[in-house]
Amino acid sequence: MATPVAIRAAGTKVQVRISGVYTTIPSARGFTGPGGEAPEIDTTPLDEDQAKHFLTDLTDPGEANVRMDFNLDNAVHQYLADAWLAGSLEVFKVIYVNNRGWDFSAFVKGLPGTAEQGSAVGAEMKLRISGAPVRF
């Protein structure tokens, strides 16, 4: 029987580096990313009559999103809101339960909040990644 490839999402940590220390973002409920793509360069010569030719250009590392319960009384949430307002480049880390994950630099592109009757105040933090994410 083959060993399962899937790992559980429960226990995943999303962290931001504050004053040189990785700090877990409280109440993170979901994470997507990094998600980018390599743009293509068409290099098809004029005399080609069968198929196009391509090269890849520099990879765009894309974005990541963190869905969370949000409370501005929390110091880490305050830090993230300040980073959004300042447009500062921050360092993030995502650690899955198997101790693998991603390390990347990003700025907080958006921090739209949500508040609906019968649910906790939340936010979906949008991160624009700058530079290549590092897989560990």
Tokens of 39: 């743009």
DSSP-derived secondary structure letter, 14: E
pLDDT of amino acid 94: 97
Q: Where are the domains of the chain?
A: 13-34+61-135
pLDDT of amino acid 2: 79
Q: What is the pLDDT of residues 76-116, one digit of tens each?
A: 999 999 999 999 999 999 999 999 999 999 999 999 999 99
pLDDT of amino acid 3: 79
Q: Residue 92, exposed/middle/buried by CB under 10 A (0-12, 13-18, 19+)? A: buried
pLDDT of amino acid 30: 95
Q: What residues does 17 pair with on adjacent strands?
A: 22
CA atoms within 13 A on the CB side of 130: 10
Distance of alpha carbon 133 from alpha carbon 86, whole angstroms: 22
Find out if CATH 2.40.10 is the number for domain 13-34+61-135. yes
pLDDT of amino acid 105: 98
Give mean pLDDT, residues 17-35.
95
